A and B are shown apart, each in its own frame.
Chain A
Amino acid sequence: MELSSGVVLAIIGAAISMGVAAISAGVGVGLAGVAGAGVISEDPKKFGPVLVLQALPQTQGIYGFLGAVLILIGVGVLGGAVKEISIGMGYAALGGGIVIGLSSITAVAQGAISASGMGAVAKRPETFGQAVVLAVMAETFAIFGLLVAILIFVGTKIMGG
């Protein structure tokens, strides 16, 4: 099957969206997991709050996946019929993928915040709510990244075109 340059660029965008987000979320979850293991080794009853805090950096991975799926549906790679799209639209899809991928790097910082939050919760369980709020702050920028990507996809008719 012959693919147009536009479609190839869009596929690269999807790959960046998912690939970078997976690495970032993995590192973030890893950091939080190391700290979580430290807390649980002392107090297994803290598994619940630890799990919530460890799960937070995973969301950037979900955004990366979502971005990749939107691109792939948009260019018809998912759904059976690959569309003929221009190189310009391909670049737009690539840009959307890059913005999602780069903004997902916030998962690393979120993992570090979650790790510290776990320590705080282990020391003072009543700080769980605050620890979650602090970790979620880092998430904001990943959400902005995803929104900008969606705006690009809608504006360039990759989505809904």
Chain B
Amino acid sequence: MIGDTLSYLYVNAKIMAKEGKFISASRWEDLWGCTSPGEIAPLLEGTDYFPYLNEAAVNDAKELEKSILKEFSSLGREISTIIPKGSWPIKEYLLKKWDVINLRTVMRGIHGDLKKDEIVDSFIEGGELGVAFFKTLIDAESMDDFVALLAKTPYQSLTDGLGRYNETKNLFFLEASLDRIFWADLWKKVLNLKGLKEFREFIGVCVETHNLKIILRAKNDGLLFEDIKLFLIPDCTALNALFSAFDEEDLSGFIPLLEDTIYFEPLLSAQQEYEQTGSVLVFEQALDNLALKKAEDIRKKKPFGSGPLVGFLVSKDTEVKNLLTVVRSTEVGLNRRDIREALARK
């Protein structure tokens, strides 16, 4: 425990200083009222995003979005260089996340038949594979070619989702497969590690959240267990009951099965909104909020070691998501109330 505390002293002090530069509540109030990127950029002064904003970002929502993501990825790289050596799974989490984001960009580009320049422009440097590798992927003529190009990378088992994608042309199967690769690999690594208890606890919640999102979306789309079983991560004891009851219960019948878990309350609260809107996004948002709360709990429970880092990473992730929501809303002209509704955490 003392070793953990000492090795994280520098990291924790640094991240707390970074938290001092988070967007304040009063600044959020101003951001919700913005109607153009030009109004957003000056409000980011004093935050870590500001040095990443160029002239183009002030005038263009896409560029502003990219600047925010660049800051986020460079933060991940920075933290990955200062965390103790024994915390290598956190480093993998920080870096591979950007590989997954870039792969998703390529997949969506191929699926939506986007121009190659447009896809390349959306890449964010910061992962383990590097942008040069992703540039080689955009030459793929089809999704089959794309998946074939991933042979000998950690993402070669994207083939699991390829068959169903080709049958249905539903990107869900490939995206679910990609997420499974990321979380399952990380889960396997942290399970076999002696230390990093707090990080393991957090990844456990992320893995279960991944499974729940797949299950709820699949149920909403009328899929069978057979269709999604390849995308679920096993060894999640809290969800075993759900796996076996998948084909028997409808979506609302699922939630009571989770009664003894931390997921029950948030999903039950979101159920009413789901019944009104029919959008499974309300469940996904409830699960994201739960992951954030869990990270905050971990941080309070263990104020030394990797606990504060877990809390920081999730808070930063939420801040970025919220900021991107505000930026995107200026493109589609959402009003203040709609933006607040859309935020990951109000």
Residues in chain A within 8 A of chain B (CB atoms): 31, 34-39, 41-43, 46, 112, 115-116, 118-120, 122-125
Most buried by A among B6, B9, B21: B9
CB–CB B17/A46 < 8 A: yes
A35–B20 contact, CB under 8 A? no
Contacts of B21 in A (CB 8 A): 42-43
Inter-chain contact total with CB atoms closer than 8 Å: 58
B241 at the interface (CB under 8 A from A): no
Task: Tell me, yes or no, whether B10 is within 8 Å of chain A by CB.
Answer: yes
Find A38's partner among B5, B13, B19 (CB 8 Å cutoff): B13
Query: In the bound complex, do residue A39 and residue B9 qualify as a contact, i.e. CB atoms below 8 Å apart?
Result: no
Quick one: given A112-B5, A116-B303, are A35 and B12 in contact (CB under 8 Å)?
yes
Additional A-B contacts beyond A38-B11, A43-B21, A118-B13 (19; CB < 8 A): A31-B9, A34-B9, A34-B10, A37-B13, A38-B10, A38-B13, A38-B14, A39-B14, A41-B14, A115-B9, A119-B16, A119-B17, A120-B16, A122-B16, A122-B17, A122-B20, A123-B17, A124-B20, A125-B20
Within 8 A of A (CB), among B16-31: 16-21
Bound state CA distance, A42 and B51, in angstroms? 13
- Tell me the minimal C-beta distance from B259 to chain A in angstroms: 37
Min CB distance B25 to A, Å, is 13
Interface pair B17/A42, CB less than 8 Å apart: yes
- Write the nearest CB–CB distance from A85 to chain B, whole angstroms: 41
* Nearest opposing residue in chain B for A50, CB measure: B13
| Cβ B17 vs Cβ A38 within 8 A | yes
Q: When the two chains form their complex, are residues B9 and A38 in contact, meaning their CB atoms are under 8 A apart? A: yes
Q: Which residue from chain B places its CB closest to the CB of A35 in the assembled complex?
A: B13
Q: Nearest-CB distance from A31 to chain B (Å)?
A: 6
| Nearest neighbor of B19 in chain A, beta-carbon distance | A123
Q: How far is the CA of A34 from the CA of B308 in the complex (A)?
A: 16
Rounded to whole angstroms, the CA-CA distance of A37 and B17 in the bound complex is 11
Name B82's closest neighbour in chain A (CB-CB): A38
Bound-state Cα–Cα, A120 to B18, Å: 11
Contact of B17 among A34, A43, A115, A116 (CB under 8 A): A43
Q: Which residues of A contact B12 (CB under 8 A)?
A: 35, 38, 119
Shortest CB-to-CB span from B330 to chain A, Å, is 29
Task: Give the Cβ gap from A158 to chain B, nearest Cβ, in Å.
Answer: 37
- Minimum distance in angstroms from A108 CB to a CB of chain B: 10
Using known A-B contacts A115-B13, A118-B13, determine if residue A31 contacts B6 with beta carbons closer than 8 Å: yes
Q: CB-CB < 8 A to A115: which residues of B?
A: 9, 13
Q: What separation, in Å, do the CA atoms of A35 and B308 have in the docked complex? A: 14
Q: How far is the CB of A35 from chain B (nearest CB, A)?
A: 4
CB contacts (< 8 Å) of A35 on chain B: these are: 9-10, 12-13
What residue in chain B is nearest A41 (Cβ atoms)?
A: B14
Chain B residues with CB under 8 A of A31: 6, 9
